[in-house]
Amino acid sequence: MNSEIELKLLKEIEELKRKVHLLEGQDDHQIPTYQYRKIRDAELKKLFEIKQKLDKQIFEQWFNNPIEIEHSVEVFLNDLIAENESLVEYYHEEDLKIYLITPLLNKIKFLNREKEIRGFYELSMSYVTDQFILMVRLILSYPKA
Amino acid sequence: MELNDWKFIKGAYITGSHWHFVILEKLERHKYQYFISQNFDSTKIEDLTAIYKNLLFVKNEIFAMVEA
């Protein structure tokens, strides 16, 4: 092969390799970026030390709350079950969001204009350090007070 | 939690009709432990009522936090 063409091809190969490395987050000059939906357990555990604890006591105060619900809410909840119980096993993720989760969250109503609070759907947030960037998408969140 | 410097955060994950609530506790920077609750079946009225109350508790907590 002609040496000029060979040299040109080698340069193109190097440039392509560099672009692939960049896309895979392997560029030496770039901080790796991870998306929470795609990150593997092993990778996450390299970034954070995180362990499950089996203690259920921590839920006591949360679950044993003295909240009373109104009759209208009881009716709503019974209707929600009646409309969905025979179909839920066939629901895809989006069906579940539309038919079960969203009606429940809307009934709770996290919106409060006076306090400037609302729920967010699929809000993108990123956590940046000098070692890595982690992107997450939140289903429900609220602005920092 | 790293951004807002909170120590605990409450959440849930849902698989079909089954809900599990989760508490994530920050021990120090980049070090966490988490707790997973028992299963709540949202097709059973007792469990769905509990799910509703648990979510309402979180809402009340958020509103109180903002007021403080």
Residue A16 lies in a domain: yes
CB contact under 8 A, A56 and B35: yes
Residue A130 lies in a domain: no
**H or E segment to which residue A42 belongs:** helix A41-47
pLDDT digits (tens, 9 = 90+) for B9-48: 899 999 989 999 999 999 988 888 999 999 999 999 999 9
Q: Please tell me the pTM assigned to this model.
A: 0.73
CB contact under 8 A, A53 and B53: no
E strand residue ranges, chain A: 33-35, 49-53, 123-128, 133-138
Structure confidence at residue A2 (pLDDT): 67
Query: Tokens representing B10?
Result: 């409450």
Structure confidence at residue B63 (pLDDT): 86
The number of distinct structural domains making up chain A is: 1
A1 pLDDT higher than 70: no
CB contact under 8 A, A65 and B57: yes
Residue A58 lies in a domain: no
Q: Is the ipTM of this complex over 0.90?
A: no
A144 pLDDT higher than 80: no
CB < 8 Å to B56, chain A: 67, 69, 108
Structure confidence at residue A139 (pLDDT): 55
Q: What percent of chain A has pLDDT over 70?
A: 76
Give the domain extent around A21. 1-30
Residue A95 lies in a domain: no
CB < 8 Å to A115, chain B: 63, 66-67
Residue A123 lies in a domain: no
Residue A125 lies in a domain: no
pLDDT digits (tens, 9 = 90+) for A21-76: 767 765 555 677 777 667 777 777 777 888 899 999 999 999 998 999 999 999 99
CB < 8 Å to A101, chain B: 14
Residue A25 lies in a domain: yes
Interface contacts A/B by beta carbons within 8 Å: 112
- Rounded distance, CA A36 to CA A38, Å? 5
Residue A69 lies in a domain: no
